[in-house]
Amino acid sequence: MQKVLAAAGIGSRRACEDLIFHRRVTVDGRVAQLGDKVDPTTAVIFVDGERLVTDTRLVYLAMNKPRGVVSTMADEKGRTALADFLDGRVEQRVYHVGRLDAESEGLLLLTNDGTLAHRLMHPSFGVMKTYLCEVPGPIPRNLGRRLTAGIELEDGPVKVDSFRVVDTLGRTAQVEITLHEGRKHIVRRLLEEVGHPVSRLVRTSIGPIRLGDLRLGRTRRLTHAEVAALFREVGD
């Protein structure tokens, strides 16, 4: 057991033994014991109540997708795609979790964990996503109330969970929208409907994962804490 924890990057083998000794580790629903034999590819392990992924074959990445890149790993039309930015640095075959249209940019998650990806995309889990948008200004004072109350679109009503004006630059405004809807082009269609068509859209967060200062076109591996937070987000 302690070898599996150490291989997952929790700490030295001695530190992992201390965690087990102090009953801070569970495996498959029971408190772990020193010397337990576990299969890291199938065991469900928690450390201090946080899910720990011990299967080293699983990969979790954050990407800052540039504008003009299609949300597919490879494109049969020869357009720039997501795999072009991995540059052979990831041996495993990964997939994108959800999409951003080609003209949008920002945070995308890539993984080969099909179960987690499915939960993150499924509407029943209501994973929040935040977008920074450039739109024509000025922004009416009541727009936030309208958007949180709900707007009727051609495929049904949509409500945002939060809305705020970030900045106003001449005739352009920056607004931030958070919502758990996943319908196609939902943010662009919503703002178009209320008279503020989007000229630039950047997704800045997916659930607990933030884009932060990740450079455009770059990827990074999620930390253990971030992966655990994603599992919490979808109830695991």
Residues annotated as part of the active site: 101
Question: Do residues 224 and 181 make contact, with C-beta atoms less than 8 angstroms apart?
Answer: no
Q: Quick count: other Cβ atoms within 10 Å of Cβ 57?
A: 11
Q: For the chain, percent helix, then strand, then coil, each to nearest 5?
A: 25, 30, 45
First-to-last C-alpha distance (Å) of the chain: 21
With 0-12 / 13-18 / 19 or more C-beta atoms within 10 angstroms meaning exposed / middle / buried, residue 24 is: middle
Helix axes 114-121, 224-233, angle to 10 degrees: 50
Q: How far is CA 165 from the centre of its chain?
A: 23
CA 44 to chain centre: 22
- DSSP at 161: S
Sign of the C-alpha dihedral, residues 182, 230, 57, 204?
positive
Please state the φ and ψ torsions of residue 39, each to the nearest 5 degrees.
Answer: -95, 110
